[in-house]
Amino acid sequence: MRFFIVDDDQGVRSMLADIIEEDGLGKVVGETDDGFHINSDLLELKKVDILLIDMLMPIQDGIQTVRALGSHFHGKIIMISQIESKNMISEAYSLGVEYYITKPVNRLEILAVIRKVEERLRLQKSISFIQRTLQDFTFEKPQERQEPPGSKKEMLTAGHFLLSELGMIGEAGSKDLLDILGYLYEKETESVHSINAFPSLKDIFSNTAAKKLGSSATSAELNKEIKASEQRVRRAIFQALSHMASLGLTDYTHPKFENYASKIFDFTEIRKRMSELQNNIESSQSQIRINTKKFVQVLYLEAKQSMS
């Protein structure tokens, strides 16, 4: 990992650099005494993975610097300060800061936090790989494929557990999602007419609605059920996203938050929801974008993996 340190205290910068390099966490590729001296181009040039930055500095403080970097810096940010204002900490998190450490810095805490951030970076790379893979997601053809492990019942059990972990099992849409998992499992394991790509959302909702209503259902009844199912699923996903955001506000290191927040959701939307919850914004006024396709795809892969 490559680190950049921004702090107006030379002693703190030296201590952080010693901790990082002595414990083999990576390399400090730069440091400065004020946020005014850095920008996204500099961090990109130095290929910085983790930025450690003080909150209070004489010219440009940490909050201003992180805001200026915006989405142009793709690494992780750890903020360090002796200030413990909840409002300032919340603002830092809403801007994308991964962790907040209070001064005086503690060697063990620094080590623990950096290792967690490193793990998050590795997870992010894994998610990026999954997303790229999903773009070309294919089910194996009958003559080439091997039977997936387990059974449809085990798939539904794994799905039920995941939905419980995500805090959405009580939502009406959770039943629709379990039906979807069952449909995808059957589609992958059928012996003939295997599909060549991950089904579209339209096909998924159409087929699950048809199976639910039976062959006697009219087109009008099918269309009504498809729309209702889509709405139930979106509401359930929003509930899960809100649950994750709530966990993050309470404890940024909560195991469920760390495991699912960026794996199964768009983390940008998680941060937006955290900000909404912090400011008591009603869900009816929410500007959160629900990525149903990503949720369904990753939920299926996670359930399938847990069956293994």
pLDDT of residue 48: 92
Q: Mind listing the pLDDT tens digit for each residue in 263-278?
A: 888 888 888 888 888 8
230 has a pLDDT exceeding 70: yes
pTM over 0.75: no
pLDDT one-digit tens code per residue, 81-132:
887 667 777 777 778 787 888 888 888 888 988 988 888 777 766 666 665 6
* 127-172 confidence digits (pLDDT tens): 666 656 555 555 544 444 444 456 888 888 888 988 988 989 888 9
What distance in Å separates the CA atoms of residue 158 and residue 305, rounded to the nearest whole number? Answer: 9
194 has a pLDDT exceeding 50: no
**Structural domains in the chain?**
2-133 (3.40.50.2300), 152-307 (no CATH)
Task: Please give the average per-residue pLDDT across 195-214, as a whole number.
Answer: 86
The answer to whether residue 181 scores a pLDDT higher than 70 is: yes
Per-range mean pLDDT, top range of 120-129, 216-225, 256-265, 284-293: 216-225
Q: Positive or negative CA dihedral for 57, 63, 64, 66?
A: positive
Q: Does 184 score more than 70 pLDDT?
A: yes
Res 190: pLDDT: 72
